[in-house]
Amino acid sequence: MGLTDTIFEVIDMRSFSNLWFWIALAVVWSTASHWVLGVPWDLVARARRRGGHFTQDVEDLVRIYVNRILHVAEVSGLVLTVLVCFALTTMLILGFAYGVEFAQALFLLSFPMSVVGLLSLRSARIIRRDEPEGDDLYRRLHIHRMTVQVIGMVSIFITTIWGMFQNFSIGVLGG
């Protein structure tokens, strides 16, 4: 038995029947929901409740991360767009045209996260333009977080349905 056979036997490339894939899916979406434009949501909630220096911390972190997001978009936005589109297209074709389950799983993780990335860029531009403070900033962050959570719920639902279909098809058809 060769090295690649051993690796593929130890690491099951049938992603939808692998517990690690579902753990990764949960971790990705809980992390995306918790970190709103780079700011941890518990800090936003604490600032909303207590105010004071917590509000200043949130405003400073938002300013830092908004500037960072917009700088990356300005400096390497075109290159990132090309690379992400290439990677997503490759995963889409390998996964759904050629039936590579690992590529399907990566696509079902990556595509919604790229939508969250675009949403973050949009939110960063709105925050830079409007320069909200206090409750207005919390409202903007809340809208962003709720939208990410909706994208996450839809993504998890679609991934679950597709994963069940794949597992059922392989189970019934025998591989």
Residue 27 lies in a domain: no
Residue 100 within any structural domain of the chain: yes
Structural domain contains residue 99? yes
Asked if residue 148 is part of any domain, the answer here is yes
Residue at 61 is within a domain: yes
Q: How many domains does the chain have?
A: 1
For position 125, what pLDDT does the model report?
98
Examine residue 17 and state whether it is found in any structural domain, yes or no.
no
Domain that holds residue 97: 49-162
Residue 143 in domain: yes
DSSP letters along the chain, please? --HHHHHHHHS---GGG-HHHHHHHHHHHHHHHHEETTEEHHHHHHHHHH-THHHHHHHHHHHHHHHHHHHHHHHHHHHHHHHHHHHHHHHHIIIIIS--HHHHHHHHHHHHHHHHHHHHHHHHHHHHHH---HHHHHHHHHHHHHHHHHHHHHHHHHHHHHHHHHHHHHHHHT-
Q: Chunked in runs of 10, what are the mean pLDDT values of the chain (175 residues)?
A: 70 76 95 96 95 95 97 96 98 96 96 98 97 95 98 98 88 58
For residue 24, what pLDDT is reported? 94
* pLDDT (0 to 100) of residue 169: 83
Which residues contact residue 139 at a Cβ distance below 8 angstroms, ignoring those fewer than 6 apart?
132
Where on the phi/psi map is residue 51: left (φ > 0), alpha (ψ -120 to 50), or beta? left
Alpha-carbon separation of residue 152 from 55, 93, 111, 146 (angstroms): 27, 23, 11, 10
The answer to whether residue 74 sits within a structural domain is yes
